[in-house]
């Protein structure tokens, strides 16, 4: 949440009654509230529609997210009493994903572009997502932020290190895939999944690994990608 009297609630979370009630309570003294969504995944949007109905708030989000009241694009802004929040299209995690730049604090609310811990996030949603993801990280880096606010986990107070870490992981995976494809050119996605993730990968993770690796294979096969 950004603001005290004029508040923006960013990615209010899942449709869990206790959680929705807690957010409602937190903004009950505000003069105005808007809800901002970075993308359409349920763990970000689930609470939005119930919360909006309870407090009479409008929902702002990117094109592709269902039931938003106002579609926002790069450069569109929302006012809070703690400064403007400016939309920036940062695809990769999903095609519609946007971040919110907070110029007054030199911060960026990055949704799921980065997480508050570790070195990876989900990138396997759509064709071209890996290239988009790397470009989006470069875009955020170019802003020169002093802090990143991911939707999951603690703020990232060393943005350069965090972005380097997530880029490094993705580049490492790309090289693993490139090597697997070069060494086993007659193989297929299933074989390359075993080569990259290991044959002992649990069945519960195989579907996600297959989608992630397929996206990496597409990236490697695109001759325009480094």
pLDDT tens digits, the chain, 226 residues: what are they?
Answer: 999 999 999 999 999 999 999 999 999 999 999 999 999 999 999 999 999 999 999 999 999 998 899 999 999 999 999 999 999 999 999 999 999 999 999 999 999 999 999 999 999 999 999 999 999 999 999 999 999 999 999 999 999 999 999 999 999 999 999 999 999 999 899 889 888 888 778 888 888 999 999 999 999 999 778 8
Rounded Cα distance between 142 and 127, Å, is 25
**Which pLDDT does position 134 carry in this prediction?**
98
List, by residue number, the catalytic residues. 43
Sheet holding 58-61, edge to edge: 6-10, 32-36, 58-61, 70-71
Strands 83-89 and 77-80: antiparallel
What does the H/E/C string look like for the chain?
CECCCEEEEECCCCCCHHHHHHHHHHCCCCCEEEEECCCCCHHHHCCHHHHHHHHCCEEEECCCCCCCCEECCCCCEEEECCEEEEEEECCCCCCCCEEEEEHHHCEEEEECCCCCCCCCCCCCCCCCHHHHHHHHHHHHHHCCCCEEEECCCCCECCHHHHHHHHHHHHHHHHHHHHHHHHHCCCCCHHHHHHHHHCCCCCHHHHHHHHHHHHHHHHHHHCCCCC
Domains in the chain: ranges and CATH: 6-221 (3.60.15.10)
- Are 30 and 3 in contact by the 8 Å Cβ rule? The answer is yes
**Which pLDDT does position 226 carry in this prediction?**
83
- Are 169 and 177 in contact by the 8 Å Cβ rule? The answer is no
**Which pLDDT does position 165 carry in this prediction?**
98
Residue 10's alpha-carbon distances to 129, 143, 177, 216, in angstroms, are 23, 20, 35, 30
**Which pLDDT does position 125 carry in this prediction?**
95
- Are 82 and 49 in contact by the 8 Å Cβ rule? The answer is no
């Amino acid at each position: 949440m950004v603001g005290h009297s004029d508040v923006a609630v960013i990615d209010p979370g899942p449709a869990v009654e206790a959680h929705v009630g807690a957010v409602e309570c937190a903004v009950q003294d505000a003069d105005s509230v808007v809800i901002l969504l970075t993308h359409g995944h349920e763990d970000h949007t689930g609470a939005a529609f119930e919360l909006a109905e309870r407090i009479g708030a409008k929902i702002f989000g990117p094109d592709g997210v269902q039931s938003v009241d106002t579609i926002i694009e790069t450069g569109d802004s929302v006012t809070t009493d703690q400064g403007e929040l400016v939309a920036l299209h940062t695809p990769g995690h999903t095609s519609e994903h946007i971040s919110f730049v907070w110029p007054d604090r030199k911060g960026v609310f990055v949704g799921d572009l980065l997480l508050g811990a570790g070195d990876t996030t989900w990138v396997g949603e759509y064709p071209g997502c890996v290239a988009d993801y790397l470009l989006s990280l470069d875009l955020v880096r170019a802003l020169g932020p002093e802090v990143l606010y991911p939707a999951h986990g603690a703020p990232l107070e060393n943005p350069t290190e965090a972005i380097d870490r997530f880029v490094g992981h993705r580049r490492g995976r790309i090289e693993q895939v490139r090597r697997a494809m070069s060494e086993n050119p007659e193989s297929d996605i299933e074989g390359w999944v075993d080569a990259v993730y290991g044959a002992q990968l649990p069945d519960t993770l195989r579907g996600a690994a297959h989608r992630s690796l397929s996206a990496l294979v597409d990236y490697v096969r695109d001759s325009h990608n480094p």
